[in-house]
Amino acid sequence: MEPDQLGVRGEACVDHSVERMKNEDARLIEAAQAVWGGFRLHEDFSAGTVGAAIRTAAGNIYTGICIDLACGLGFCAEAAAIAEMLKQRESHIAAVVAVGADGVLGAPCGRCREMIAQVDRRNLCCRVLLPNGKETTLAALLPDHWLEPGTPKQAVE
């Protein structure tokens, strides 16, 4: 088994064959595109240049947009979508997608990768949709994650 197929406690990730249904992915991308689109409310304030959508294991979709303030404060669209999800007391993510510059899909930044993993360790198995129909898993984007037993960090302890 490939390392990126291992999930929490080394268990195999769930079979995503059903998850790979293209209509489900298209619906998720459309949800991110629906909230995407940068706008300004003030000369130093912008939002929406990235839109994100999460589909939970329960099948619900949550969206979010980024906020960028002049002083450097702000947060990513994925973080906003995670907050929406947590409001409904869900945490297990099946798939995530972000739409950024020119409407192109992009992988989450490092901070968001960690956030997705830490809100629920099972999310290391979640699918990350990428441009041109490609995809990966969060585990592949966070190899040897510190939350996973058996990683070099834990072996040292």
> Which residues would be at the binding site for Zn ion (CB under 5 A)?
76, 109, 112
Q: What's the min distance (Å) between Cβ of 89 and Zn ion?
A: 23
Nearer to Zn ion, 6 or 31 (CB): 31
Q: Which is nearer to Zn ion, 8 or 112 (CB)?
A: 112
- Residue with the shortest CB distance to Zn ion: 76
What is the rounded distance in angstroms from the CA atom of residue 95 to the CA atom of residue 100?
17
Nearer to Zn ion, 65 or 76 (CB): 76
CA angle 98, 74, 52 (to 5 degrees): 15
Cβ-based neighbours of 50, under 8 Å, separated by 6 or more:
36, 65, 66, 76, 77, 98, 99, 100, 106
To Zn ion, the closest distance from the beta carbon of 16 in angstroms equals: 23
Residue type, 99: V
CB atoms within 10 A of CB 67: 19
Report the nearest approach of Zn ion to the CB of residue 109 (Å): 3
Residue number with CB closer to Zn ion (47 or 76): 76
